Amino acid sequence: MTSRRAFLSSATGAVGASALAAQQRGSAALQQDRISPMDGVRREKIKITGVKIISLGYRLKPEEEWRDADNNFIIYKTESVIVELTTDVGLKGIGGASRYNGPAEMKEYTEAVVKPAILGKNPFDVEYLAAGLCGPRARGVWAGVDTAMWDIIGKAKGLPLYKILATDTEPVTHIRMYASGGEFTWQKGSRFVGPDDLEATAIVRSSALRFGFFDS
């Protein structure tokens, strides 16, 4: 398992190299009135050479833990699953998959199924290689593979990916902050908040968001 700090520091050089390569290729002009994001986008000769699953985990401090009221579980850590694709031209693609699908299962599935399916393939065939394959449990890793391929496409064309994906509208480039909450326990005398504390929790969290929104 890799820490977020270690991952981000190791990824800095890779991101810089990818950005430089994209600048050298030049930004591509997109045709108007596209229906599919790939309409009119010229393919680049790129092959996927590697697939890596990175599990980012963080052990929560006692005061950061919370109780899941539905299952009465204690959430004691956060975890993210990152898919990293490498190519023969030096570009890397990064995508995220839901941790709820099981990081260990997704890693095994990647070795057995994903790698044989995409190694040597062109990420520009993303809609053929990865679209619609994401599913429950280990198949959830396809979400990260799909996103990583699109990441490579954006870097190869020297364009922010949102410009490629937005075919019929001007993309929103600023996203409001989102804060989730409402976790509690029904257990009396617990160190975790109970249902009677939800209103106070919502008020505190919503006041911290000037331009975002709160969901509980």
End-to-end CA distance of the chain: 30
d(CA 179, CA 78) in angstroms, rounded, equals 15
What six digits make up the tokens of 181? 């909450």
Identify each DSSP E strand in the chain by its residue range. Answer: 48-59, 66-68, 73-75, 77-87, 92-97, 178-180, 213-215
Q: What is the pLDDT of residue 75?
A: 80
Q: What is the pLDDT of residue 213?
A: 52
Number of Cβ within 10 Å of residue 176's Cβ equals: 10
Q: What is the pLDDT of residue 20?
A: 45
pTM for this prediction: 0.74
Contacts of 128 (CB under 8 A, 6+ apart): none
Per-residue pLDDT of the chain (216 residues; tens, 9 = 90+): 666 566 555 654 455 454 444 444 446 678 888 888 988 889 999 999 999 999 888 888 988 787 776 666 788 888 889 999 999 999 999 999 987 778 889 999 999 999 999 999 999 999 999 876 767 788 889 999 999 999 999 999 999 999 899 888 888 888 776 666 667 777 777 777 777 777 777 777 776 665 555 454
Q: If 0-12 CB within 10 Å is exposed, 13-18 middle and 19+ buried, where does residue 47 land? A: middle
Q: What is the pLDDT of residue 34?
A: 84
Q: Which domains does the chain have, with CATH numbers?
A: 4-165 (3.30.390.10), 178-215 (no CATH)
Q: What is the pLDDT of residue 200?
A: 77
